[in-house]
Chain A
């Protein structure tokens, strides 16, 4: 612990009637001096109630002046043990838990979960469902990044981009609502398909949004990308090397900002992502500014994927034709004994998964979002585990902020793009 001493002269002001002599027998009056000021390290709480911690994150910071000596994160304030709760829910009921984890990109979580269950059960979804889920996931990637962009701009002191990005987010909220009936808690997926087919005109709405968001991104980039204050606050702040980033478990845009081209859509492609034409932006320096650049470019690439997916959205059934997982149509139910039995079993017992397990990871908006499901046979999981990208990304924050300034903690935290609902689960 360093002790810095400050020594300076105090001019005596007898006319004020104040005696500045130190109390512990210091030098006599007239000889102006003050005892050495010892500075102890200071311990402060950043959060859990702080607008720049993006939720109920609490960082205990030990400061030497303005320099962060140590940073100890405390999490768990939102803990509701979704994983335990999931062991008491049927496979389809868990979908409603997943979107409450990352309420900034609920559809990605809905999709990732059912994809893991489908992989474990060996269910192959229809072509229309695949493309729909790709649209959902890319839409919510932009949705999540837009929130990150707004709060990032606020943290750096710019208010206008926040308004711009939330205007765009409102359009996605409306798309969510048009399809699922809910703005945030979408719960849109089911094992073997989606909750419903897409409503009339929904795809055109996505197209309209995809065109409009590019204009907003252009405007925001014009405001931020070369702004002197923005550059000064973010460049060479929170730097992490590629090796460290991998070793620390960084994933998603945070890892790519350090120069590691690891994107699950390219490296372990699912849902025909290898047939979509898009680039994976890579940073060079691994600092906050590169994380900003990577996310801005990712939104543009997601728009490209959206256009391609909308172009190829095929007609046909949304749900898989598999009586184990999908309810029969009403006509079949009324006329066909086998369908009625399937309907009864599905409604009363839920989808039954054979014994087995699967770990399925998708490229979430925050990083590698893995769903690990274990079944011992039956309608409820033995274990449902979420590999939380924000949780692992946040665990690196002491490494990034220690030795830097207090003001940089805010920017580093904003650049990691965390969501506490998923960290605490």
Chain B
């Protein structure tokens, strides 16, 4: 069902089979010239219908669409299978086409031993932006997934430290790279200025600054002989005398 929806949302040309490799930009591999990719056919053999579709874009770049439910399994297989060994994760990002269309999470894989590149895409409906984190497979996904979470609001299940990375931790205007986010932000300039001026030093620390096993609400700088100083929380602002 979901696969059908995705097919109707197809944006790019050259869908499966019709991979007319137009060599452009000066980089082409022999595989690409025939419109086949060794990993794609192997993926189809191993996972069957889990590979939703295959496209060739920009002449020689192969894109594989997989479902969210088995994306982790497929990526692990691509990383570990000796014939493929996509050990280098170049990039994790997302694309929002707007108008309520699904948000694509994009993995740019590269195999250093075999010199193959492959792009894996997972389409997520805007109402349910959740996907398995690939940090257990590639550690570099840590910050890249945090950026996707920050900018698009995609939740990565099992991510060790999923919090905003470029925007401030208490940023309240949403996820900036979504198409429904206006260029100047959701709040008025006056409100943005007011919030910027109301920042406290404690706002720039987050729970994980203080280490596992510690209460994230407590700053770990005990006053000599005194009790730890609690962090100002939004609720306690009125209580302060």
Contact = CB atoms under 8 A, between A and B. Distances in A.
Interface string B103-114: 000101000100
A221 to B, nearest CB: 30
A271 B181 CA distance: 38
A262 B88 contact: yes
A122 B14 CA distance: 14
Contacts of A70: 211
Contacts of A155: none
A53 to B, nearest CB: 15
A425 B176 CA distance: 13
Contact of A43 (B57, B141, B208, B209): B209
Bin chain B's interface residue count: 35 or more
A75 B142 CA distance: 14
A385 B119 CA distance: 14
Interface in B12-45: 12-13, 22, 24-27
A168 interface: no
B183 A262 contact: no
Nearest to A360: B25
Nearest to B26: A270
A364 interface: no
B25 A249 contact: no
Interface in B218-237: 220-222
Interface string A121-150: 111100000100000000000000000000
Interface string A42-79: 01000000000000000010100000001010111001
B97 A387 contact: no
B225 to A, nearest CB: 10
Interface in A74-99: 74-76, 79, 81, 83-85, 88
B167 interface: yes
A357 B12 contact: yes
B143 interface: yes
A121 B209 CA distance: 46
Given A268-B27, A374-B95, A376-B97, A359 B138 contact: no
A346 interface: no
A273 to B, nearest CB: 10
Contacts of B87: 246-247
B132 to A, nearest CB: 18
Given A372-B106, A383-B95, A392-B140, A40 B167 contact: no
A358 interface: yes
B88 A249 contact: yes
B96 interface: yes
Nearest to B91: A387
B25 A118 contact: yes
Given A43-B221, A249-B140, A356-B58, A119 B12 contact: no
A382 interface: yes
Contacts of B115: 267-268
B96 A62 contact: no
Interface string A387-414: 1000110011001000000000000000
Contacts of B211: 62, 70
A282 B28 CA distance: 26
Secondary structure at chain A's binding surface: helix, strand, loop or mixed? mixed
A115 interface: yes
Contacts of B11: 355, 376
A85 B164 CA distance: 20
A43 B201 CA distance: 14
A356 B57 contact: yes
A424 interface: yes
B68 interface: no
Nearest to A115: B25
Nearest to A250: B140
A422 interface: no
Nearest to B60: A119
A370 B112 contact: no
A355 B12 contact: yes
Contacts of B12: 355-357
Contacts of A356: 12-13, 57-58
A385 B58 CA distance: 16
B59 interface: yes
Contact of B24 (A124, A272, A359, A361): A124
B140 A76 contact: no
Contact of A249 (B13, B138, B165): B138
Interface string A352-385: 0001111111000000101010101000001101
A117 B168 CA distance: 32
A118 B59 CA distance: 12
A40 B205 CA distance: 19
Interface of B: 11-13, 22, 24-27, 57-59, 61, 87-91, 93, 95-98, 106, 108, 112, 115, 117, 119, 138-144, 147, 151, 164-168, 176-177, 181, 183, 204-205, 208-211, 220-222
Given A81-B177, A122-B24, 18 more contacts: A41-B220, A43-B209, A60-B205, A75-B165, A79-B167, A83-B177, A84-B176, A88-B183, A267-B112, A267-B115, A268-B117, A355-B11, A358-B25, A360-B25, A376-B11, A387-B91, A395-B143, A425-B166
Closest 5 CB pairs of A and B: A249-B140, A119-B25, A358-B58, A122-B24, A395-B143
19 contacts: A43-B221, A62-B211, A72-B209, A76-B166, A81-B176, A84-B181, A120-B57, A124-B26, A246-B88, A249-B139, A249-B141, A262-B88, A267-B115, A268-B117, A360-B25, A368-B90, A372-B106, A376-B11, A395-B140
